[in-house]
Amino acid sequence: MNTLEKKKLAEMPKIELHLHIEGSLEPEMLLSLAEKNQISLPYNDVDAVRAAYRFRDLQSFLNLYYLATQCLKTEQDFYALTLAYLRHCRDENIVYTEMFFDPQTHLEHGVPLAVSMAGIAAAQGEAEREWGVDSALILCFERDRPAEGTIALLKDAEKIGGIIGVGLDSAERNHPPAKFAATFAAARALGLHRVAHAGEEGPPEYILEALDKLGVERIDHGVRALESPELVERLRAEQIPLTVCPFSNVALGGFGNLQQHNVARLLESGLKVTINSDDPAYFGGYLTANISDTWDALGLSFEQTIQVQKNAIDGCFAQAHKKREMYEKLSVYG
Indicate whether 22 belongs to the interface with Zn ion (CB under 5 A).
no
For residue 10, what are the CA distances in angstroms to 21, 282, 292, 293? 22, 21, 9, 13
Nearer to ligand ADE, 170 or 292 (CB): 170
Max distance between CA atoms of the chain, in angstroms, equals 52
User: In angstroms, rounded to a whole number, what is the distance separating the alpha carbons of residues 64 and 170?
Assistant: 12
User: What binding mask, one character per residue, do residues 22-41 give for ligand ADE by CB under 6 A, x or -?
Assistant: -x------------------
Indicate whether 20 belongs to the interface with ligand ADE (CB under 6 A).
yes
Query: CB of 94: closest distance to Zn ion in angstroms?
Result: 17
Query: CB of 10: closest distance to ligand ADE in angstroms?
Result: 25
Residue at shortest CB range from Zn ion: 278
The DSSP letter of residue 238 is H
User: In angstroms, rounded to a whole number, what is the distance separating the alpha carbons of residues 171 and 57?
Assistant: 10
Nearer to ligand ADE, 102 or 134 (CB): 102
Indicate whether 197 belongs to the interface with ligand ADE (CB under 6 A).
yes
User: In angstroms, rounded to a whole number, what is the distance separating the alpha carbons of residues 207 and 228?
Assistant: 10
Nearer to ligand ADE, 112 or 253 (CB): 253
The DSSP letter of residue 52 is T
Q: Considering CB distances under 5 to 8 angstroms, the limit depending on partner class, which of Zn ion, ligand ADE, none binds residue 23?
A: ligand ADE
Indicate whether 278 belongs to the interface with Zn ion (CB under 5 A).
yes
Distance separating the N- and C-terminal Cα atoms of the chain: 15
Nearer to Zn ion, 57 or 128 (CB): 57
Query: CB of 248: closest distance to ligand ADE in angstroms?
Result: 5
Q: Dihedrals φ, ψ of 139, to 5°?
A: -85, 120
Query: CB of 20: closest distance to ligand ADE in angstroms?
Result: 4
Alpha helices in the chain (DSSP H): 3-11, 27-36, 46-51, 58-69, 75-92, 103-108, 113-131, 150-160, 181-189, 204-213, 229-238, 246-251, 263-268, 280-283, 287-298, 302-315, 320-331
User: In angstroms, rounded to a whole number, what is the distance separating the alpha carbons of residues 53 and 216?
Assistant: 31
Nearer to Zn ion, 73 or 106 (CB): 106
Sole window of 201-209, 232-240, 271-279, 311-319 interacting with Zn ion (rule: CB under 5 A): 271-279
Q: Considering CB distances under 5 to 8 angstroms, the limit depending on partner class, which of Zn ion, ligand ADE, none binds residue 58?
A: ligand ADE
Q: Which of 22, 200, 201, 209 is catalytic?
A: 200
Q: Which of 58, 163, 207, 281 binds ligand ADE (CB under 6 A)?
A: 58
Query: CB of 142: closest distance to ligand ADE in angstroms?
Result: 8
Q: Which of 104, 105, 170, 276 binds ligand ADE (CB under 6 A)?
A: 170
Nearest one of 126, 76, 75, 81 to 99, comparing CA atoms: 81
For residue 204, what are the CA distances in angstroms to 99, 166, 182, 183, 315? 25, 21, 22, 22, 21
200 carries an active-site annotation: yes
Please report the sign of the dihedral spanned by the C-alpha atoms of residue 248, residue 218, residue 133, residue 121: negative
Indicate whether 142 belongs to the interface with Zn ion (CB under 5 A).
no
User: In angstroms, rounded to a whole number, what is the distance separating the alpha carbons of residues 87 and 160?
Assistant: 25
Nearer to Zn ion, 99 or 267 (CB): 99
User: In angstroms, rounded to a whole number, what is the distance separating the alpha carbons of residues 222 and 200?
Assistant: 6
Q: Which of 279, 290, 308, 317 binds ligand ADE (CB under 6 A)?
A: 279
Residues that bind ligand ADE (CB under 6 A): 20, 23, 58, 65, 169-170, 197, 200, 248, 278-279
Q: Which residues sit at the interface with Zn ion, rule CB under 5 A?
A: 278
Active centre residues (catalytic):
200
